Amino acid sequence: MQAFGYATHSADSELGPFRFERREPRPQDVAIDILYCGICHSDIHSARNEWGGTTYPFVPGHEIVGRVSAVGAGVTKYKAGDLVGVGCLVDSCRHCQSCSDGLEQYCENGWTGTYNGEDKIGGTRHTVTYGGYSDKITVDQRFVLRIPENLDPAAAAPLLCAGITTYSPLKHWKVGPGQRVGIVGLGGLGHMGVKFAHAMGAHVVMITTSPEKGQDARKLGADDILISKDADAMVNAAGTFDFLLNTIPVGHDTDPYMNLLKRDGTMVIVGAVETLTHTSGVPFIFRRRSMAGSLIGGLPETQEMLDFCGEHNITCDIEMVAMKDVNTAYDRTVAGDVKYRFVIDMSTLGQAATASPTA
């Protein structure tokens, strides 16, 4: 089927209008009219080929919320009109140990990303997947999530990546009451980390480079603020944290953060895939500390997170943008100038329909 969205054609060009083909719904497929799509920093890393391996033309977007427009004959979970979401994954091998455990993000045979992935099923002109900066998408029902109807669908969109990426490690490392938890970086991921850690009952400290974000952090659920650029404050806080969730999007020295942990504390990296530096084994050995990583979340846990948000009325703090303003939104995200996630209103896509090159 014909789809319309925004794509970029090289690492250093802007996003612009783009017409392309989506596969027709197959028996297990759900066809979705996209209402909203969040702008994740990963979209920017990928559009600008900062991680290498981006295939162009490239349509970003993996924080997708929409309504089901049609379903294939074998679809039992969804019907036309349902409010649904699609996150970072649209397929995986479905039979390895990780897939059997509902941890499709760790599929041992390689999962299919919502964008820049290789469509294992094929059947279209393209084998590369295209993301949610577009009017419609077709996804197998196993990789479609149900969005609680009581949530604002625009503010729910970033839950599909920023939400699950922060919820999953907080759950895995059993964050809860009685713990002092630091969320490092108040951006799209970080602001959800604060909300979830607060909702799980922890004492939450926002660790930020931006003192001016302190007041907002408290509104989001932070009990205290620690300015990471204040070396004295960082030293004074050494050894006081049970858990740290680090969302910094660039390579950095991990020592100042590791030193914040108590004995047996863990810092989980979800941000940078660039080089992390540390000076020695001391921050690890003394106090038996750990550093770990975590990747988004599997389909069952993503649904659990969405249901948790439905029950606790948790959504993201967003700034809505028109599709034509997406390039400005990218620059503002990189500059840290967003509170705290941009979401594209797909009803504005029509305004951008002129001068649209095809795939």
Positions in the binding site for ligand NAP (CB under 6 A): 40-42, 45, 161, 165, 185-190, 208-210, 213, 247-250, 252, 270-272, 294-296, 333, 336
11 interface partner picked from Zn ion, ligand NAP, none, CB below 5 to 8 A per type: none
328 interface partner picked from ligand NAP, Zn ion, none, CB below 5 to 8 A per type: none
28 vs 228 by CB, closer to ligand NAP: 228
99 interface partner picked from Zn ion, ligand NAP, none, CB below 5 to 8 A per type: Zn ion
The one segment of 11-19, 47-55, 85-93, 310-318 that binds Zn ion by CB under 5 A: 85-93
* Residue 60 near residue 47 (C-beta atoms within 8 A): yes
CB of 95 to ligand NAP, least distance (A): 23
**In the window 34-63, what residues touch Zn ion (CB under 5 A)?**
40, 42
Beta pairing, strands 136-140 & 29-38:
antiparallel
137 vs 316 by CB, closer to ligand NAP: 316
Nearest to 116 by CA among 80, 62, 154, 155: 62
168 interface partner picked from Zn ion, ligand NAP, none, CB below 5 to 8 A per type: none
84 interface partner picked from Zn ion, ligand NAP, none, CB below 5 to 8 A per type: none
Identity of the amino acid at 305 = M
Nearest to 293 by CA among 279, 272, 278, 311: 272
Residues pairing with 182 in the sheet? 205, 244
Show the tokens assigned to 311.
């029950």
**In the window 86-115, what residues touch Zn ion (CB under 5 A)?**
92-93, 96, 99, 107, 109
Radius of gyration of the chain (CA): 20
What's the burial of 129, exposed, middle or buried (CB within 10 Å: 0-12/13-18/19+)? Answer: buried
Residue with tokens 């990583």: 293
CB of 25 to ligand NAP, least distance (A): 28
Measured from each CB, the residue nearest to ligand NAP is 187
* Residue 272 near residue 252 (C-beta atoms within 8 A): yes
Enclosing H/E stretch for 327: helix 326-334
Binding interface with Zn ion (CB under 5 A): 40, 42, 92-93, 96, 99, 107, 109, 161
